[in-house]
Amino acid sequence: MRRALLTLVPLLAVLIVSAREPAAPAAISPAARDRGVYHLATNAETRWVPFDLTPGNQIRFRMQLDGRDVTAILDTGVSYTLLAKASPAVDTAKLVAGGSATAIGGSIALGWMPTRSIAVGGLARTGGGVTVADLPAIATGSASAVDLLVGADMMAGYALDIDYAAHRFRLLRSGRLPFKGETASLRVSAERSVYESAITLGDRRLAPVVVDTGDGSSITVTAPGWAAASLAVPSTTAISFGLAGPAISGLAIVPDIHVGNMVARWSEVRIEPAGGFSQSIGVAGRIGSGFLQNYRVLLDPGARRMVLSRGPKADTQPLRSTSGLLVGVEPNRLKVLHVMRGGPAAASGWKDGDLICTIDTVPIPADYATSPIAFWSAGAPGRVVRLGLCDGTTRALTLARFY
């Protein structure tokens, strides 16, 4: 079954920490940071790490930081592993200024905290440190925040094998090829210190694109890249959330995208506005976890390759909203985060911030994100859904296909 919130409630962290020079003399620049010493266990291939996918499609798991169990997200779009400022793992006595970073919505201030040890699966690091910043729960689309984003600094020296179908991953020696699949280029850029590849959209090759396991979206491209592809497909709008706040983008579903020697069918594409986040960091777009989860994935920048093996979800059409409402889950209610351009909700006067307490008279359940009731927003065209607002009024919404 497709995840109910894959397309319809994209509370997605698009978090690329692009290290800048320090904002003040007291800040520790990336070049001055202790990198730590890494060790990959001899039995690393057997050290699978189980994970679950957040409602925002990120890989969430448990690991250890300074001997403490923490919750983490695997995020190849983050240059330096990032610790949430609110996490109990933060030692304020060790925290110093760490410069600034570029994230969706703007710039954010960073701290820097030295660490004794970090361990994930068969990989351990002694010494080194982590960046520290605000990391709100909305970045994962769930009610609970995580402690840590594990970034490229931890993983880039190894091959990362992500088995989405089995909800597990492991770290291997670079050069290993544990399964067969179709290949694409991959590197860690010197400019941004994140994983990068390329895609072909229409007849236009777009590069570099960030391979970002922390981005819950599928494919994201810049407005100039979308225009250059010259695709005659309808589009609407959507919203995403990053460390620096929300961002509105275009949204379309395209019949095929080339990633290396692989052709992916029916992919959801987000189109950033001119001057948006991707352009601001000098890339053509991103490949996110919403796309990667359709495959078993090997990311091995040391061997300059990404390997994709089709999973059971590959080449199936993604869910499309037929309501035109993108909602966030709050206790006992839904909050309208975005009214999609050209959809039924826009035509009937819905506004951002409207609060929904019932769907066809059924109260919003605590497990809404994984409940079958969440599929109302992608129901059959022509169906009439009665949405009870929290002020006691009821609105009828007729579902329709509009992109």
Does the fold of domain 325-398 match that of domain 30-154? no
At 149, give phi and psi (nearest 5°). Answer: -110, 120
Tell me yes or no: is domain 30-154 CATH 2.40.70.10.
yes
Can you point out the beta strands (E) in 186-244?
A: 187-188, 195-201, 204-212, 219-222, 236-242
Q: What is residue 278's three-state secondary structure?
A: helix
Res. 350: pLDDT tops 70 = yes
How high does pLDDT run on average in the chain? 90
| Per-residue model confidence as pLDDT tens digits over 278-336 | 999 999 999 999 999 999 999 999 999 999 999 998 999 999 999 999 998 899 999 99
* CA atoms of 171 and 18, how far apart (whole Å): 24
- Cα 39 from Cα 157, distance rounded (Å): 11
Q: Which residue type is seen at 126?
A: T
Query: Do residues 204 and 223 lie in contact, with contact meaning Cβ atoms separated by under 8 Å?
Result: no
**Span 172-194, pLDDT tens digits:** 999 999 999 999 999 999 999 99
Q: 343 falls in which pLDDT band (50, 70, 90)?
A: very high
Give the predicted TM-score (pTM) of the model: 0.88
The answer to whether domain 173-310 has CATH 3.40.50.300 is: no
CA atoms within a 13 Å half-sphere pointing along the CA-CB vector of 217: 31
In angstroms, the CA 108 to CA 19 distance is 11
Measuring CA to CA, how many Å separate 402 from each of 133, 153, 259, 347? 39, 42, 27, 11
Cα distance between residue 294 and residue 292, in whole Å: 5
Residue 92 reports pLDDT greater than 90: yes
Q: How far is CA 388 from CA 48, 240, 329, 394, in A?
A: 45, 25, 15, 4
Position 402 scores a pLDDT of 97
Residues in contact with 284: Cβ distance below 8 Å, sequence separation at least 6, in sequence order: 198, 206, 207, 208, 209, 221, 222, 225, 278
Using CA atoms, how far apart are residues 95 and 85, in angstroms rounded to an integer?
10
- Per-residue tokens: 277: 């986040």
Q: Which tens digits make up the pLDDT trace of 27-51?
A: 666 667 889 999 999 999 999 999 9
Angle at 391 between CA 386 and CA 393, to 5 degrees: 35
* Residue 12: per-residue pLDDT: 30
Taking CA atoms, 6 is separated from 107, 289, 367, in Å, by: 27, 10, 15
> Any alpha helices (H) in 322-399, and if so which ranges?
344-347
- Indicate the pairing of strand 285-288 with strand 158-163: unpaired
Q: Residue 289 has what DSSP assignment? A: H
Q: How far apart are CA 315 and CA 3, in angstroms?
A: 15
Residue with tokens 């909800």: 167
Residues 6+ apart with CB under 8 A from 355: 330, 333, 334, 335, 336, 389, 390, 391
What are the sequence ranges of the domains in the chain? 30-154, 173-310, 325-398
- Asked whether the CA dihedral 269, 273, 274, 279 is positive or negative, the reply is negative
DSSP codes joined into one string, 96-130: EEEEEEEETTEEEEEEEEE-SEEEETTEEEES-EE
Q: Is the pLDDT of residue 264 over 50?
A: yes
Contact 60, 52 (CB under 8 A): yes
In whole angstroms, what is the distance from residue 48 CA to residue 296 CA?
A: 14
Q: Rounded distance, CA 161 to CA 164, Å? A: 9
Q: What are phi and psi of 253, to 5 degrees?
A: -120, 120
Cα 172 off chain centre by: 23
158-173, pLDDT tens digit by residue?
A: 999 999 999 999 999 9
Read off the pLDDT band of 232 (50, 70, 90): very high
Given a cut of 70, whether residue 114 has pLDDT beyond it is: yes
Q: What is the pLDDT of residue 340?
A: 98
> What CATH number belongs to 325-398?
2.30.42.10
- How far apart (Å, rounded) are the C-alpha atoms in residues 73 and 87? 14
